[in-house]
Amino acid sequence: LCVSAGDFLWLCHLMQYAMTICIVRFQPKDVTVAVPAGALVTEAIHQAGLHVNMPCGGQGRCGRCAVLVEQNGANPGVRRRSSLRLSAADVAQGYALACQSVIEGDGSIVIPPQEKIERRLTSDRTAAAISLPYTYDPGQDQPLRAFFVALSPPTMDDQTDDWARLQRALRQEHGLERVTIGLDGLRKLGRTLRAAEWQVTAIVETDTWDDPDGAARVVDVLAGDRTERLLGAAIDIGTTSNVVYLVDLIRGEVVAEAVDYNGQIVRGEDVISRIIYASKNGNGAGPPDDQRNGLGELQALVLETLNRLLLRAARRVKAEPEEIYRVTAAANSTMTHLFLGLPPESIRLAPFITAVNQPPPVQAGELGLSVHPQASVDCLPGVASYVGADISAGVFSSGLADTDKLTLFLDVGTNGETVLGNQEWMLACACSAGPAFEGAGVGHGMRASAGAIEEVWINSATREPTWRVIGDQPPQGICGSGLISLLAELFITGVLDRSGNFNRQLGTPRLRVGSHGPEYVVAWAAESAHGQDIVLTEVDIDNLLRAKAAIYAGYTVLCQRVGVDPAEVEQVLIGGAFGQYLNVEKAVQIGLLPDLPWERFRFLGNTSARGAALALLSREARQRIAAAAQQMTYLELSADNSFYENFISALFLPHTAMERFPSVAAVMNGQTTTPQGEGVAG
Amino acid sequence: LCVSAGDFLWLCHLMQYAMTICIVRFQPKDVTVAVPAGALVTEAIHQAGLHVNMPCGGQGRCGRCAVLVEQNGANPGVRRRSSLRLSAADVAQGYALACQSVIEGDGSIVIPPQEKIERRLTSDRTAAAISLPYTYDPGQDQPLRAFFVALSPPTMDDQTDDWARLQRALRQEHGLERVTIGLDGLRKLGRTLRAAEWQVTAIVETDTWDDPDGAARVVDVLAGDRTERLLGAAIDIGTTSNVVYLVDLIRGEVVAEAVDYNGQIVRGEDVISRIIYASKNGNGAGPPDDQRNGLGELQALVLETLNRLLLRAARRVKAEPEEIYRVTAAANSTMTHLFLGLPPESIRLAPFITAVNQPPPVQAGELGLSVHPQASVDCLPGVASYVGADISAGVFSSGLADTDKLTLFLDVGTNGETVLGNQEWMLACACSAGPAFEGAGVGHGMRASAGAIEEVWINSATREPTWRVIGDQPPQGICGSGLISLLAELFITGVLDRSGNFNRQLGTPRLRVGSHGPEYVVAWAAESAHGQDIVLTEVDIDNLLRAKAAIYAGYTVLCQRVGVDPAEVEQVLIGGAFGQYLNVEKAVQIGLLPDLPWERFRFLGNTSARGAALALLSREARQRIAAAAQQMTYLELSADNSFYENFISALFLPHTAMERFPSVAAVMNGQTTTPQGEGVAG
């Protein structure tokens, strides 16, 4: 054995650990485990049968797995390798990232209450994640303002009308030279002024993206001083999932979030079926808001979902939806059309044309969106029929539009939009993944909310599964990250072959033939929340394979088009409903993500909703999203023969060409699952 | 007898006439009369029992009494003293103004069909009366334009969205740099473009008064080339009468007119009762368009009237109301509030404040006005609670705002607004005349439409009346000019005393006591259209006296305030529903108008509607109306003690101080009724 001095020291270090067993006690559940020194805290937590949220997949990026290490004298027994996302004060108090901290001695660790997924983004920590790259200054960044004015009451010597009196005060006290008001505002103005004894707060939109030099507009006039809080909403209208962020425009923070499936799902799972449904009955030629036609019905369904979410989010901060005075919306082009009641049929027919990529601002009352009726609703700009505002928002909020690194951006939603490029150029396509990864189109699929199985491990000997459920409760179904994890584990443990068929020779009771054909039982009825078996069928697997193959084919075609080897991609930014909770290893194992060093992947969660929130917070962000939309070149895959070839090749696990996935091949050959790169942490 | 040579020749001329009897035959009724040479054609027509319209009262100003003199060889028997308003071609054909032409020999005259009052303004001649002081050029004057564009259809190489494609064409072909569109426009855009095979007409509002540099707005997109006609509507919303002018914005002409009573009359005759009614039920605090409250009901009533008029006017030119793409509205401040659904209560309570004097432009669909839903409705600016946009429009369209003559402007409507001034200064007041002169508040009063008695003569010996009816048909009632004429004749012939009481000693069957007290029978049941007696009661007379006294007191206070003797007033411009048909002599005899030389009076008809039409035709006119509103100083009569004194003194016929009406005193003393001035004609 010939080793260098450095390697020798390293080996000694390892051996020292190997000899030491540490006793760690976890609170508040009071569970004690014995682990070898050098183990990660997350490994100890897992061994204890406990759970800590780890949405970034253990990369030390999200800061969500923070635990409190009790300070037992000089040696608390835990060494931090990284404390990203933790403040100095947090560290001083003893907080450590479970995924980035190593156990070196006995100790006691407190696991804080783990929030359910639905509430994760309501914490201050996540609000900070949706912050601008500079200090937020409403006066500078914000087109929506709340101005308090104390008017001089009218007299026989000053018979100035109510509206001119308010205009005069806004000019004199706040420098607003030109101000307009709508009819509804005028209708209540006189009574509000008199009831408030002439002391009022004017909610004013000072400018709009399409008329930055235009007149300011009074959205509402409220009695008294109401400048302490000003709410806006950023909404993301996905084909499958809808998200509402409630944003405090004074402090620049997300204060509440609400998520649910898009109510339109009952009328079709992908945009094409929605477009076809929209033309139903009278070919949509009637009044667009007539619910008897398909378009009117679909618009009503999504508004119903959004209005419910707006109400839920508002109630969480003890507000009424009518106190929301401005809205930004990011959606794919079809969802934008259906939201606005615009006939979408030309999106589906060659040459695939939208009615509008950059809709003008509309007022909420005109749409039927339950916020303040005079609130402006700013639908962010899209690029083309199949690359919408959600992607413009995503390439901005993900940082792709600002980086000089060759970057692949994947929005793993129903439409599978993919962008390759950097701050200089961007090429975009959409590959119709379908809703499988959002939990729809899969028998026991569900959204990533409480009760969803979000990660699965399968014992390679017994083929028995264990799983982690969001909210630490009996499972109701499986969400996107759980499905990817399950698929990968079934494949790696040989339950599934490379074509996605079950190996029915295994003799495990988990494999059986159900009413939908062969299936694997993930949870028995006795374990589940609803008393029924939770299964994954070959039909479900087919849908999942088609979804991952479409995404793989999409980014492969983009790379081929610009002559780039996928291995040259310097970073992969992943957005989408589950992006935040995805396990890279598993996603590579099924061939969804390219086989790159793990540190090149960043999971960003809902980049569309985040982009909408940034556009709501800042004029500049709004302009840069528009610039990104302008900059993107759209590649129509239906006009590209190589897409179909790439799709077919990718319908296997992980791919027909196994050499494209060397790390998976290594695992299959019994090698370690350590990533190719130089380490995950850091 | 000592005469000059000139006088001698003149006398000879007269004697020559006196000796000559001319035989005139009128066609098409084939009636022949013998008149002394020198008689006016109008006198001959009257003698023949025929009728010709003479809205200017025989002053040769309106051109409406044109008749065709048949060219019997060299001497047609008629000499024209003036041919104002007749074109050279008209004169060459033989047309002459009946009121300005003298019969000098035998002849034959054709009286053209006399239009009913309602249609008078639909003739080309009246359209000319509502023309700009320069050649109309839509490209220069008009913010509403119809642009034809032929778009290149989309291809796979040009996937530009529909709206951006239209914007691009409007920019390239018509130089429109910034254009917006509303949601409704977007909703139908795609289908229109495809149905029209990409050849469309965009109806575009290029700018608005409150944002002259703002973006142009697409109001609608129509299939094919529709640039040949573009309709707008100018509406005048009087407390009593509503008027709609339909205007062709390509040619700059009024093409149809419709008039009716304001449907709100059933809820109160003057603005104060309307304001009180508006607060009815829940004090108007509910939604403003809720018809269960008074405000909502009043708004619905006036919209119903206006929508009916818009439909009627549109149908006259074979158009639908939805083809009206822009509206200007002139109204007093209360009517503006009720039209827009703005609570008017503060108008009535000291210090008398409107919600708004200059409403922002609103869209017709938002109001419920039945024109194109995206048409902008521009409510012209008012001055104060009791001097509204109708007066701003009136002082502009009457020429007061442009003259250096000391001018009195009277709007003889329900509110009796009065303005004294010239282009340098204007002092305005309102004196609540009530609706009597519009035919309301008088038992047998009616609007100046077909079937209304518009002039009355009473035989001073028999006290028997003769009358002229609009439309030459059995009478249905008496309109404003008829009431003034009737009141004056009753007074001059001694049927009424100076206090407005009937002289019941006269012994004529026309005087009797009816269910409402003493009354004079103007038409017996057998003569009337409805088979009932048409009468004037002492109650009616009281209302008329109050109305004329209020107007008299109004202008008297204005004169006193600026230290001007009413005799110094250089011109009196009279607007209002009946202004066009008023007889000066009679109006002076009852003390409504000051006793000035007749040529100082000009009857302008509906100056408010005309101002609205001018504002619709021209950006400059619109701006100058706003400037006039700015320039006017409002005098609050309720804060002026002298108004009441003047009002009380004026409740007599013609006035307590008879010396203020020397021409009336002369008539009462049996002198000639010749006006004080140097002649009416010319």
**What does the pLDDT average to over A373-393?**
97
Query: Which residues between 18 and 57 in chain A have a beta carbon less than 8 angstroms from any beta carbon of chain B?
Result: none
Helix, coil or strand: residue A343: coil
| Closest CA in chain B for residue A163 | B356
Q: Is the pLDDT of residue A290 over 60?
A: no
For B:375-414, CB contacts with A below 8 A are 384-385
Distance from CA of A296 to the nearest CA of B (A): 12
With an 8 Å Cβ cutoff, is A630 touching chain B? no
Question: Is B53 in contact with B65 (CB distance < 8 Å)?
Answer: yes
pLDDT band at A301 (very low <50, low <70, confident <90, very high): very high
For chain A positions 143-162, those within 8 Å of chain B (CB to CB) are: 154-156, 158-162
- Residue B309 near residue B216 (C-beta atoms within 8 A): no
CA B70 to chain centre: 34
- A187 interface with B at CB cutoff 8 Å: yes
Q: Which chain A residues touch B388 with a CB distance below 8 Å? A: none
The C-alpha angle with vertex A472 and arms to A471 and A478, in degrees rounded to 5, equals 75
How does DSSP classify residue A278? H
What pLDDT is attached to residue B510?
96
Nearest to B573 by CA among B430, B395, B381, B387: B395
Residues in chain A: 682
* pLDDT of B625 above 70: yes
CB contact under 8 Å between B186 and A359, yes or no, is yes
H or E stretch including A103?
strand A101-103
Q: Which residues on adjacent β-strands are paired with residue A639? A: none
**Please, what is the average pLDDT of chain A?**
87
Ranges A291-300, B381-390, B529-538: which has the least confidence: A291-300
Option in B163, B182, B356 nearest A161 (CB): B356
Pairing type for strands B417-421 and B407-411 reads antiparallel
With beta carbons less than 8 A apart as the criterion, state whether A244 and A233 touch.
Answer: yes
Instruction: Find out whether B453 and B467 touch, Cβ atoms under 8 Å.
Output: yes
Give the burial class of B70: count Cβ atoms within 10 A of its Cβ; 0-12 exposed, 13-18 middle, 19 or more buried. Answer: middle
pLDDT for A472 equals 82
Please give the average per-residue pLDDT across A5-31, as a whole number. Answer: 73
H or E stretch covering A481: helix A480-492
- Is A384 in contact with B351 (Cβ distance < 8 A)? no
Distance between B548 CA and the closest CA of chain A, angstroms? 27
Report the pLDDT averaged over residues B565-586.
Answer: 83
- Give the pLDDT mean for B267-279: 88
Q: What pairs with residue B148 in β-bridges?
A: B201
pLDDT above 70 covers what percent of chain B? 87
Q: By the CB < 8 Å criterion, does A221 face chain B?
A: no
- How far apart CA B245 and CA B253 sit, in angstroms, is 10
Q: Which of A190, A213, A354 sits opposite B343 (nearest CB)?
A: A190
Residue A470: pLDDT band with limits 50, 70, 90:
confident
Tell whether the model's pLDDT for residue A175 goes beyond 70: yes
- Per the CB < 8 A criterion, the answer to whether A591 and A347 are in contact is no
> What is residue B150's DSSP assignment?
E
With a CB cutoff of 8 Å and minimum separation 6, the contacts of B551 are B410, B412, B416, B418, B431, B433, B592
Mutate: best of A181, A183, A189, A295, partner B, most B CBs <10 A: A183
* Chain A / chain B CB contacts < 8 angstroms: 149
Whats the size of chain B, residue-wise? 682
Instruction: Give the residue from A156, A162, A186 with the most B CB atoms within 10 Å of its CB, the best one to mutate.
Output: A186
> Which residues of A are less than 8 Å from B189 in CB distance?
355-356
A9 Cβ contact list (under 8 Å, min separation 6): none
With beta carbons under 8 A apart, name residues in chain A contacting B177: none
Residues of A in contact with B345 (CB under 8 A): 190
Shortest CA distance from B639: residue in chain A = A156
- Closest CA–CA distance from residue A441 to any residue of chain B (Å): 31
Q: Are residues A351 and B180, on separate chains, in Cβ contact within 8 Å? A: no
Q: Which of B577, B586, B552 is nearest to B438 (CA)?
A: B577
The reply to whether residue B360 touches residue A162, judged by beta carbons under 8 angstroms, is no
Question: Do the Cβ atoms of A186 and B367 come within 8 Å?
Answer: no
B635 Cβ contact partners less than 8 Å away, ≥ 6 residues apart: B427, B428, B429, B557, B558, B561
- Is the predicted pLDDT of residue B653 greater than 90, yes or no? yes
CB pair distance less than 8 Å for A362 and B159: no
Tell which of A188, A333, A356 to mutate to test the B interface (max B CBs under 10 Å).
A356
pTM: 0.78
Q: Kindly report the nearest CA distance between residue B183 and chain A, in angstroms.
A: 7
Strands (E), A498-612: 511-514, 517-523, 534-537, 571-575, 601-605
Give B619→chain A minimum CA distance, Å.
19
Asked if A279 is an interface residue toward chain B (Cβ–Cβ < 8 A), one would say no
- Say if A163 is an interface residue toward chain B (CB within 8 Å): yes
Residue A38: its pLDDT value, please?
Answer: 85
Chain A residues closer than 8 Å to B158 by CB: 351
From the candidates B353, B378, B385, B635, which should be mutated to test the interface with A, based on the most A CB atoms within 10 A? B353
Distances in Å between the alpha carbon of B507 and those of A582, B252, B463?
109, 57, 10
Q: Do B189 and A352 touch (CB under 8 A)?
A: no
- Check residues B123 and A620 and name the one with the higher pLDDT: A620
Rounded to whole angstroms, the Cα distance separating B677 from B598 reads 7
State the Cα–Cα distance between residues A190 and B348, nearest whole angstrom.
Answer: 13
Q: d(Cα B29, Cα B43) in Å, to the nearest integer?
A: 17
Mutation for testing the B interface, residue in A160, A161, A167, A191 having most B CBs under 10 Å: A161
Per-residue pLDDT tens for A118-154? 333 323 334 335 656 678 999 899 999 999 999 999 9
* Angstrom distance (rounded) from CA B407 to CA B409: 6
Q: What angle do CA B363, B365, B369 make, to 5 degrees?
A: 95
Q: Chain B partners of A198 at a C-beta cutoff of 8 Å?
A: none
CA within 13 Å, CB half, A563: 0
CB nearest to A357's CB, from B161, B211, B341: B161
Query: Among partner residues B213, B215, B353, which is closest to A159 by beta-carbon distance?
Result: B353
Task: Give contacts of A379 with chain B, Cβ < 8 Å.
Answer: none
What SS3 string covers B515-548?
CCEEEEEEECCCCCCCCCCEEEEHHHHHHHHHHH
Strands B216-223, B144-150: parallel, antiparallel or unpaired by DSSP? unpaired
Candidate from A288, A352, A353 with C-beta closest to B162: A353
CB contact under 8 A, A341 and B183: yes
Contact across the interface for B343 and A191, Cβ inside 8 Å:
yes
A476-531 per-position pLDDT tens digit: 999 998 999 999 999 999 999 999 999 989 989 999 999 889 999 999 999 999 99
Interatomic CA distance for residues B15 and B77, integer angstroms: 17
Chain B's closest residue to A382, CA to CA, is B161
- Cβ of B161 and A354 within 8 Å? yes
Question: Residues near B152 by Cβ (< 8 Å), separated by ≥ 6?
Answer: B158, B165, B198
Is residue B118's pLDDT more than 50? no
Q: What is the pLDDT of residue B682?
A: 28
> For the purposes of burial, counting CB atoms within 10 Å of the CB of B174, is it exposed (0-12), middle (13-18) or buried (19 or more)?
middle
pLDDT at residue number A70: 86
Q: B177 touching A, CB under 8 A?
A: no
The answer, for A346 touching chain B at a CB cutoff of 8 Å, is: yes
Asked if B156 and A182 come within 8 Å (Cβ–Cβ), the reply is no
CA distance to partner chain B, nearest, from residue A390 (Å): 17
Residues B3/B11, Cβ–Cβ less than 8 Å: yes
pLDDT (mean) for B75-90: 78
Contacts of A434 (CB under 8 A, 6+ apart): A269, A270, A414, A441, A543, A546, A547, A550
Percent over 90 (pLDDT), chain B: 61
Average pLDDT over residues B473-481: 92
Q: Which residue has the higher pLDDT, A516 or B369?
A: B369
Q: Which of A343, A345, A358 sits opposite B187 (nearest CB)?
A: A343
The Cα–Cα gap between B544 and B522 comes to 16
Query: Does residue B636 sit at the A interface (CB-CB below 8 Å)?
Result: yes
State the complex-level ipTM. 0.77
Q: Are strands B601-605 and B571-575 parallel, antiparallel or unpaired?
A: parallel
> Which residues in chain A are closer than 8 Å to B353, comparing Cβ atoms?
154, 159-162, 190
Which of A336-340, A529-533, B194-198, B663-667 shows the lowest mean pLDDT across its residues?
A: B663-667
Which of B194, B341, B639 lies at the smallest CB-CB distance from A156? B639
The contacts of residue B99 (CB under 8 Å, 6+ apart) are B40, B41, B42, B54, B56, B58, B59, B60, B65
